[in-house]
Amino acid sequence: MCASVQTRYTISKQSGTGEYFDNTVITTKVKAAIFNEPTLKSAEINVETFKGVVQLSGFVSSQADINKAVEVARNVKGVVSAKNDMLIK
């Protein structure tokens, strides 16, 4: 049985090069923070960023893992908010 909390948002094609770079930097920082969190299996968590909003997707073992991944992402400098689209396997 899979449980998820899904949030969708529309992506505008009007972002500039600087904004794209900022999003890439945030994505990299969030991935590193998740990787460095020993309780999470980072290989199964995907990270995408648009206008500072981080979307997490993939598979984790528990609701606690979802909560921890979102918390870790929200604590990264530059993150406006973190949205969950992860599934419990």
- pLDDT digit string (tens) for 10-26? 334 445 667 777 999 99
Q: Take residue 6 and report the two structure tokens written for it.
A: 């899904």
88 neighbors 4 (Cβ within 8 angstroms)? yes
> What does R_g of the chain's alpha carbons equal in angstroms?
13
Q: Is residue 5 part of a domain?
A: no
Residue 78 has pLDDT above 50, yes or no: yes
11 in a domain, yes or no? no
Q: What is the pLDDT of residue 13?
A: 41
CATH label of the domain that carries residue 75: 3.30.1340.30
CA distance 29 to 77: 8
How many domains would you assign to the chain? 1
Residue 64 counted as domain residue: yes
- The predicted-structure confidence for 35-59, as pLDDT tens digits, reads as follows 999 999 878 999 999 999 999 999 9
Domain-located, residue 76 = yes
Give me the pLDDT at residue 15, please. 52
Domain assignment present for residue 3? The answer is no
Residue 71 is assigned to a structural domain of this protein: yes
Domain that holds residue 72: 17-88
